[in-house]
């Protein structure tokens, strides 16, 4: 199926590594001109160059700080300039994996908790607000917020569950407001996902626990229906569909791209 993304333009925050990188790559493969945003200039430059060479698409990196409103507005203006004045798609993905405030409640620093929410919740609002005028002007747009399955099964990670759950009503509110002018807004919840950053992370955990890396991988896959860790590109496929004109009937929804993680039913 042709997703009709060829010629569209997209911004991906947190697009230099991990799931964000996979999403930027997939959108570029589908024919989008892409701007990736992150904090580290060197990583951004390397990723943009690599994706441009691999996909043949225009991929540009712009440094920004999602917690700074002025920086967000400036980076969106620069992105729009790089994209020919049009922004069709925003993928909000910038966040610290697992969050900063991930320990026991007695050990959590309130500043870390506030920083997590400022980045992943308020930061997403900042970008949605900044791109909305461009989308309204064209009468079309797609905003996809990347959350996480910890919104449904937070475990002991206080920050991860809070920030991902907060994205859901925020997304629905934006969808209701922006839907009448042709802009859809949805959430994608990844679960355990394999990225280029996973191997060293799993290896370190295996060494600390004195077990094999295969055992750590197996544990990560235990909680889903497909019995394996989902690859970042599989999450990117879901996002690419939501970014496309083909997804026009989907707005204000929550889609889990976790391989069926958890035992509960959501309806």
Clarify whether residues 218 and 237 are in a common domain.
no
Clarify whether residues 217 and 240 are in a common domain.
no
Clarify whether residues 134 and 212 are in a common domain.
no
Residue 207 structure tokens: 């060494």
For residue 56, tell me if it sits in a domain. Answer: yes
pLDDT band, very low/low/confident/very high, at 80 (cuts 50, 70, 90): very high
**pLDDT tens digits for range 213-251:** 888 888 888 888 998 999 999 999 999 999 999 999 999
Clarify whether residues 159 and 90 are in a common domain.
yes
- Phi and psi for 58 in degrees, rounded to 5? -80, 115
pTM of the model: 0.94
Clarify whether residues 218 and 104 are in a common domain.
no
Q: Is 61 helix (H, G, I), strand (E, B) or coil?
A: strand
Q: Does 12 score more than 90 pLDDT?
A: yes
Clarify whether residues 100 and 221 are in a common domain.
no
Q: Would you state the pLDDT for residue 82?
A: 98
For residue 113, tell me if it sits in a domain. Answer: yes
* Average model confidence (pLDDT) across the chain: 93
Residue 133 contacts residue 182 (beta carbons within 8 Å):
no
Clarify whether residues 64 and 16 are in a common domain.
yes
Exposure string for 231-262, b = 16+ CB within 10 A, e = fewer: ebbbbbbbbbbbbbeebeeebbbbbbbbbebe
For residue 265, tell me if it sits in a domain. Answer: no
**pLDDT tens digits for range 180-205:** 999 999 999 999 898 988 888 888 88
For residue 266, tell me if it sits in a domain. Answer: no
> In the chain, how many domains are there?
2
Q: Would you state the pLDDT for residue 172?
A: 98
Residue 51 contacts residue 23 (beta carbons within 8 Å):
no
Clarify whether residues 224 and 235 are in a common domain.
no
For residue 164, tell me if it sits in a domain. Answer: yes
**pLDDT tens digits for range 97-150:** 777 777 778 888 889 889 989 999 999 999 999 999 999 999 999 999 999 987
For residue 264, tell me if it sits in a domain. Answer: no
Clarify whether residues 29 and 75 are in a common domain.
yes
Clarify whether residues 23 and 114 are in a common domain.
yes
For residue 263, tell me if it sits in a domain. Answer: no
Question: Range of 204's domain?
Answer: 197-228
**pLDDT tens digits for range 153-177:** 777 677 888 899 999 999 999 999 9
For residue 48, tell me if it sits in a domain. Answer: yes
166-to-108, 129, 198 alpha-carbon distances in Å: 19, 17, 26
Clarify whether residues 30 and 48 are in a common domain.
yes
Clarify whether residues 99 and 220 are in a common domain.
no
**CATH number of the domain enclosing 238:** 3.40.50.720
């Amino acid at each position: 199926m042709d997703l009709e993304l060829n010629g569209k333009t997209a911004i991906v925050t947190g697009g230099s590594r991990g799931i964000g990188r996979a999403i930027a790559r997939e959108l570029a493969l589908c024919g989008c001109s892409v701007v990736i945003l992150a904090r580290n200039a060197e990583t951004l430059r390397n990723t943009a160059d690599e994706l441009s060479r691999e996909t043949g698409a225009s991929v540009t990196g712009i440094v920004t700080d999602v917690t700074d409103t002025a920086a967000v507005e400036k980076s969106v203006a620069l992105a729009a300039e790089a994209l020919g004045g049009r922004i069709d798609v925003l993928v909000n993905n910038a966040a610290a994996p697992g969050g900063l405030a991930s320990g026991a409640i007695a050990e959590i620093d309130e500043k870390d908790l506030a920083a997590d929410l400022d980045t992943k919740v308020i930061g997403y609002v900042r970008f949605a607000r900044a791109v909305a005028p461009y989308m309204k002007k064209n009468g079309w747009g797609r905003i996809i917020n990347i959350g996480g399955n910890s919104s449904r099964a937070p475990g002991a990670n206080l920050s991860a569950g809070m920030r991902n759950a907060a994205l859901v009503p925020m997304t629905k509110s934006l969808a209701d407001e922006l839907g009448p002018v042709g802009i859809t807004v949805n959430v994608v919840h990844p679960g355990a996902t394999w990225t280029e950053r996973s191997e060293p992370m799993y290896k370190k955990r295996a060494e600390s626990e004195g077990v094999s890396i295969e055992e750590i991988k197996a544990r990560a896959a235990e909680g889903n229906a497909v019995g394996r860790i989902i690859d970042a590109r599989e999450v990117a496929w879901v996002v690419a569909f939501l970014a496309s004109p083909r997804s026009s009937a989907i707005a204000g929804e929550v889609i889990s791209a976790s391989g069926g993680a958890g035992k509960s039913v959501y309806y």
